[in-house]
Structure 1
Amino acid sequence: MVRSVSGTGKPGEVSVFRIPPPHAIPYGVVADKNDNIWIALWSGGKIVKFDTSNNSWTEYTTTTYPAHTRRLNVDKDNNIWWGVYSAGKRDGKLVKLDQSTGKMTEWTIPQQNAEPYDVAPDPEGNIWAPDVGQRTDGEYGATLWRFNPQTEEFTFYPKPQRQLTHRRFR
């Protein structure tokens, strides 16, 4: 559920908006440059947008299914980015939703059992993600990777110490 203070000006009034679909498991949330609220749903391969201008929901489903998503983020062009867990059954993916066109693009992460936990754009437009799947050197454990949307290339950085684990970053 999303809860917000309503615009009626009455102190203490709260509006409640149920997140679609039924039994959704919200995991990550971010606001875009238009003040829309985006929520990653752990199961079902979906993200949802809550349009704050008219209190409506829009659901987006990746072409990769089944899919698990944890976190999502917004780049400088107001595109929405998120990762899709491999769950050992398929390739992990990086996904971009271009809000200006509605086009969704998926890239296969070239790492066995890729499980991107979060994504973050940098000032140059690259997308960074900590990944808890198997590393490119065959070891199982966290890596950090960078995706360059211009060249469509991934660069991997194995974790420096075994005791480090994945976590969100901003």
Structure 2
Amino acid sequence: MLRRSFLKFGLAGLAAPNLILRSAQATGQTQPGNPFIVTYFEVPDIKGSRDVTDAGDGTIWVCGQRNGVLGRFDPRTSQTKVIPLGDGAAPHGVVRGPDGAAWVTEGGQNAIARIDDKTHKVELFKLPEGRERANLNTPVFDKTGMLWFTGQNGIIGRLDPKSGKMEIFDAPRGAGPYGMTRTPSGEIWFASLAGNYIARINTQSGAFTVVDPPTEGQGARRVWSDSKNRIWVSEWNSGQVSSFDTESGSWKGWKLPGNKPRTYSVYVDDADKVWLTDFALNSIVRFDPLTEAFDSFPSDKPGANVRQMDGRTGEAWGGESGTNRLVRIQTVKPA
């Protein structure tokens, strides 16, 4: 295992002054001077609606963690297709594969699940013996078509979808691997919540390069890359969002607005705007790295608990795991 520690700060340091906070009412309509539309969709058959991803045809995949299903929601009709994943299923993360299928980290069955996008047939790839209760979390495809995934109980996995061969690697510092992302240059990175670090994976050897964020005990939970190969990190314990420049090795960090924020997830859209969720303020938060301004979108229901977001051009999506709803935030005009 290779290891690097970076303690350099970017010019913004760990806090940006004069942060701007704007709130958008969740009415489904624009507000005067507000470039966003927030819409909620009830999905009562998806219990614990959590991680989401674009299905590629206008629909959205959403994991129903509490009732063991994958949902396919069509916002044009508000109809949901419910796909049971098997006895004891508890899906966590979902990603659309190169084959168009949905690939799910299925923690309840300790397996990776493939759900065909045409037939909705479910195929399971079980973890090998001796790797039970891995607490599977986030899946990501690399540029060669290999599926990588995290398990909070201290593993990183690699699955060849063509052959079904699966390899499991012990993560640095044991338990903690959580979010995972792929950069435009093709690197695979993950965050360790319990380990308080991010790391790059050598996709050939399975070795790790560990990078420590400047804030000690920050609780790096999720990661997402922007178009410049910068790794954006949601810091659960510190309430910050931080970015790591993979070329210069420098860090920048910003505290989310409000009292004692708890930054859960991070998603970077195709305009390099950063979307976060804050459990403390029951909000989705959008951060603009150019202006260092935040927009806040508090839910209209308590305990929304929006998990991992995703999106497509002009739209950011999240699952309110505490209300069995989906939320869509549309950018009406360029911000």
SS where residue 263 of structure 2 aligns? coil
Give the alignment of 1:69-88 within 5 angstroms: 69-86=220-237
Equivalent residue, structure 1, for 2:181? 30
* Match 1:162 to one of 295, 302, 322: 302
* Match 2:264 to one of 102, 117, 130: 117
Q: Distance in 2 between matches of 1:124 and 1:32?
A: 15
CA contact 1:2–1:17 (8 Å) conserved in 2: yes
- Opposite residue 85 of structure 1, the aligned amino acid is W
Give the alignment of 1:1-170 within 5 angstroms: 1-4=155-158, 14-21=166-173, 23-86=174-237, 91-133=238-280, 135=281, 142-162=282-302, 164-170=304-310
Task: Give the Å deviation of 1:55.
Answer: 3.6
- Opposite residue 288 of structure 2, the aligned amino acid is N
Task: Give the Å deviation of 1:34.
Answer: 3.1
Task: Give the Å deviation of 1:64.
Answer: 1.3
Q: Distance in 2 between matches of 1:13 and 1:110?
A: 45
- Opposite residue 116 of structure 1, the aligned amino acid is T
Which string of whole-angstrom CA distances, capped at 9 and with x for unpartnered residues, describes residues 70-115 of structure 1?
Answer: 21111111211011123xxxx5111101112111111122221211
Which string of whole-angstrom CA distances, capped at 9 and with x for unpartnered residues, describes residues 12-47 of structure 1?
Answer: 7654432112x2311112222233221111123201
CA contact 2:284–2:306 (8 Å) conserved in 1: no
Q: Distance in 2 between matches of 1:44 and 1:2?
A: 14
Residues matched between the structures, number:
155
CA contact 1:45–1:64 (8 Å) conserved in 2: no
CA contact 1:43–1:67 (8 Å) conserved in 2: no
- Opposite residue 35 of structure 1, the aligned amino acid is G
Q: Distance in 2 between matches of 1:95 and 1:154?
A: 14
TM-score by length of 1: 0.79
Larger radius of gyration: 2
TM-score by length of 2: 0.42
CA contact 2:287–2:293 (8 Å) conserved in 1: yes
Point out where structure 1 has 5 or more consecutive residues left out of the alignment. Answer: 136-141
In the superposition, relative to structure 1, how do residues 34 and 54 fare at CA in structure 2: closer, same or farther (>3 Å)? farther
Task: Give the Å deviation of 1:163.
Answer: 5.0
RMSD: 2.2
- Quote the sequence identity (%): 25
Task: Give the Å deviation of 1:145.
Answer: 0.7
- Opposite residue 161 of structure 1, the aligned amino acid is K
In the superposition, relative to structure 1, how do residues 34 and 55 fare at CA in structure 2: closer, same or farther (>3 Å)? farther
In the superposition, relative to structure 1, how do residues 12 and 27 fare at CA in structure 2: closer, same or farther (>3 Å)? closer
Q: Distance in 2 between matches of 1:5 and 1:110?
A: 39
Q: Distance in 2 between matches of 1:13 and 1:34?
A: 25
- Opposite residue 67 of structure 1, the aligned amino acid is Q
Higher strand share: 2
